[in-house]
Structure 1
Amino acid sequence: MVEQQRRDPARDRVAVVTGGSGGIGQAICRRLADDGCAVVINYAGRPAEAERLAATITDRGGRAVAVRADVADEGDVAALFEAAESAFGGVDVVINTAGVMELSPLAELDLAVLDRMHRINIRGTFVVAREASRRVRSGGAIINLSSSVVKIALPTYAAYAASKGAVDALTLILAKELRGRDITVNAVAPGPTATPLFLDGKDQESIDRLARMAPLERLGVPADIAEVVAFLAGPARWVNGQVVYANGGVI
């Protein structure tokens, strides 16, 4: 058996990170830039945060640009990938971080909320993954953001968990559809993680209770998730078609 020639798994690679101006997204962008990736920071809102992050990475000697795109709009997403190719010559890694979370008991669920989460969490992930499957270069990686709540099954999370269950299914099937391309497809499923998205609307008692769920007895932080994503984006070439739970042992 001929051993494949290996190169530095991160150096000189180009990563597109959707939702790159958010809490976990920013941590992922910083970590990948530290690992040597050129980073395309996608945002829909928070343009100032995205531009500031790009400037910070550049000032530290990295390569980064911020590009606005609605992940659920196929024209925007095509333009996002074209911007990445124009700036850095191609795309090797795509991380689907963009997402929204709104909580409600199912009996009280406003269907407009369900539709919004469907549009961003499901349609957005599908649109980006479809474009990635067409453009990512051999040796690359596609990484979707799922959620541990799919298995933890907490009350009020039904709509959000359902949207992330769809992400799990997409991930496992796309990994098989890309057979022969040398492209890995995985999902990372964070547990309770201290981000503005997670903390919004929760009282301190609820936050403390969720923190105690993990044997490590703390909430995750964005850097915990970025570490797992960086592993899948670089050296983890034999991890494929998996949902990796990054939750401190909650399940």
Structure 2
Amino acid sequence: MTTDDFSRNLDGQIAVVMGATRNQGRAYAVMLARNGCRGVAVHYHGEMSRGEAEETAAEIAHLGAEPLLVSADLTHVSEVVTLFDAVEQRFGQLNIVVNTVGKVVKKPFVEITEVDFDQSFAINSKAAFFCMQEAAKRIEDNGRIITIGTTLQAATTGLYAVYAGSKAPLEHFTRALAKEIGDRGITVNTVAPGPLNTSFFYPVETAESKAFLSQMAPQNRLGEIDEITPLIEFLVGPGGSWVTAQTLLINGGFIAR
């Protein structure tokens, strides 16, 4: 099945993508516009990210959807609420929520500081929880809620304790929320990619660690965003209606279960 097979199946829907300035967030926001969403809210954090958010918005507008730029620090619940308020006020509805926000700390367990711990859980766990909570309050029946986790949630590996550990709660949040709102036709899933060839991956890695992580996959390479996007595209579409409460590992065989 090709991307064209899914084309325009989201006509009239409204989406919000957290962390939509680059990498996965931008790819998913653009995909949602291409598939017919009437409006796509582009979340970014602070003025330093505004330029990239505007680039995402321009791509969305080029595809015929209406972009909405919203800046928010998602570690503050009040700003999560403000983000969803802005979407509701502009578009009057909400159908799709995709949260790609995350923070990587790569350190030996004994070197992780309290600041590392608090920041990681604030971004990877707390922000995700309250975005899911606010989405559940506002999303239309048959809506879609997707949070981006990490394959490292399922891996036995050192150095990523606080990153994988702060993403691990997403599995439990996802199962609970899917059960609580599933009778409205809403699906809730976590997508957990393996290492991807993105600017999110490289800052904490070395040439040696990249080579090691690449060879963990049978194809001996990192993944590409374009290899994750079709799964998001399926989950938000009508064909994804029976997939919920899942943590979906998509990692080229890095980890299988």
Normalised by the length of structure 2, the TM-score is: 0.91
Q: Supply the AA of the counterpart residue of 1:130.
A: Q
Q: Supply the AA of the counterpart residue of 2:31.
A: R
Partner SS state of residue 178, structure 1: helix
- Aligned position for 2:203: 200
Are 2:10 and 2:35, in contact at CA under 8 Å, matched by a contact in 1? yes
Q: Supply the AA of the counterpart residue of 1:27.
A: A
Partner SS state of residue 185, structure 2: coil
What is the 5 A alignment of 1:1-251?
9-37=9-37, 38-45=39-46, 46-234=49-237, 235-251=239-255
Q: Supply the AA of the counterpart residue of 1:39.
A: V
Number of residue pairs matched? 244
Q: CA deviation at 1:217?
A: 2.2
Partner SS state of residue 193, structure 1: coil
Which is further off, 124-133 or 23-32? 23-32
Structure 1 residue ranges, 4+ long, deviating more than 6 angstroms after superposition: none
For structure 2, the residue ranges without an aligned partner over 5 or more in a row are 1-7
Q: CA deviation at 1:62?
A: 2.5
Q: Supply the AA of the counterpart residue of 1:243.
A: T
Q: Supply the AA of the counterpart residue of 1:24.
A: Q
Residue deviations 1:37-59, cap 9 Å, x none?
Answer: 22111111411100121012212
Q: Measure the CA separation in 2 of the matches of 1:218 and 1:32.
A: 27
**Considering only aligned residues, what root-mean-square deviation do their CA atoms show, in Å?**
1.4
Are 1:31 and 1:227, in contact at CA under 8 Å, matched by a contact in 2? no
Q: Measure the CA separation in 2 of the matches of 1:52 and 1:179.
A: 35
Q: Supply the AA of the counterpart residue of 2:17.
A: V
- Aligned position for 1:4: none
Are 1:187 and 1:244, in contact at CA under 8 Å, matched by a contact in 2? yes
